[in-house]
């Protein structure tokens, strides 16, 4: 237990409550609110919950998280009392949209830290530029998304438990 907790704490910068890395050990995803507050001292309740895929609701947030030199808002989503998803979001409105440069910085930083991404998807030339890249660190999925459309630019970095497909589902 002590080793697991220490490993989790080593992924964080305790003085600021900010992530040292934009992913956590998979064991964090089984934690309840009290346990999360021990790991993330700066954890705050959200005022207005957001809905994520699969009916997850935002419960908590962290401010000022740095990913590849850019400041991201961090939202933690829960279901049935346990953490299920962490999203780091950088967004901007207006022109010029800098999301592509931020996305490329994030991907380059993660490639340097984790090795080349394991999968990617792009649709360049489409009116709405969307890209994604996937890594699988610490038993989790880490997915970077770029979305540029109608003067709204977003880079989203999602961390969630890795679930290997069941052979019967293939």
The enclosing domain of 132 has a CATH number of 3.40.1000
Instruction: Please tell me the distance from the alpha carbon of residue 27 to that of residue 112, in angstroms, as a whole number.
Output: 24
pTM of the model: 0.80
Q: Is the pLDDT confidence value at 94 over 80? A: no
Instruction: Please tell me the distance from the alpha carbon of residue 148 to that of residue 68, in angstroms, as a whole number.
Output: 19
- The answer to the question of residue 170 being in a domain is no
- Listed in sequence order, the residues at least 6 apart from 135 whose beta carbon sits closer than 8 Å to its beta carbon are 23, 110, 114, 115, 117, 118, 141, 142, 143
Domain range enclosing 31: 2-163
- The answer to the question of residue 96 being in a domain is yes
> Averaging pLDDT over each range in 94-98, 117-121, 142-146, 150-154, which range is the top one?
142-146
Q: Is the pLDDT confidence value at 149 over 90? A: no
- The answer to the question of residue 151 being in a domain is yes
Mean pLDDT in the chain? 81
- The answer to the question of residue 73 being in a domain is yes
Q: Is the pLDDT confidence value at 169 over 70? A: no
pLDDT, tens digit (0-9, with 9 covering 90-100), for 13-29:
333 344 678 899 899 99
Q: pLDDT confidence of 118, banded at 50, 70, 90?
A: confident
Q: What is the pLDDT of residue 122?
A: 67
CA atoms within 13 A on the CB side of 74: 23
- The answer to the question of residue 63 being in a domain is yes
Residue 114 has phi, psi (to 5 degrees) of -110, -5
Q: What is the pLDDT of residue 166?
A: 66
- The answer to the question of residue 168 being in a domain is no
Instruction: Please tell me the distance from the alpha carbon of residue 142 to that of residue 22, in angstroms, as a whole number.
Output: 8
Let me know: does 36 contact 76? Beta carbons within 8 Å: yes
Count of structural domains within the chain: 1
- The answer to the question of residue 78 being in a domain is yes
- The answer to the question of residue 43 being in a domain is yes
Q: What is the pLDDT of residue 6?
A: 33
Let me know: does 89 contact 70? Beta carbons within 8 Å: no
The mean pLDDT of 105-118, rounded to a whole number, is 93
Q: pLDDT confidence of 131, banded at 50, 70, 90?
A: confident
Nearest to 17 by CA among 41, 46, 34: 41
């Amino acid at each position: 237990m002590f080793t697991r907790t220490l490993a989790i704490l080593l992924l964080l910068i305790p003085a600021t409550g900010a992530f040292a890395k934009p992913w956590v050990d998979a064991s964090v995803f089984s934690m309840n609110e009290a346990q999360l507050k021990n790991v993330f001292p700066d954890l705050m309740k959200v005022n207005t919950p957001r809905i994520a895929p699969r009916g997850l609701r935002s419960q908590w947030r962290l401010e000022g998280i740095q990913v590849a030199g850019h400041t991201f808002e961090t939202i933690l989503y829960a279901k049935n009392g346990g953490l299920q998803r962490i999203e780091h979001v950088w967004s901007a409105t207006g022109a010029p949209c800098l999301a592509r440069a931020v996305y490329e910085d994030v991907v380059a930083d993660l490639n340097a830290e984790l090795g080349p991404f394991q999968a990617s998807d792009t649709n360049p030339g489409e009116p709405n530029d969307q890209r994604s890249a996937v890594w699988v660190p610490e038993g989790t999925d880490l997915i970077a998304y770029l979305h540029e459309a109608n003067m709204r630019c977003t880079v989203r970095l999602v961390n969630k438990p890795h679930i290997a497909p069941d052979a019967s589902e293939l």
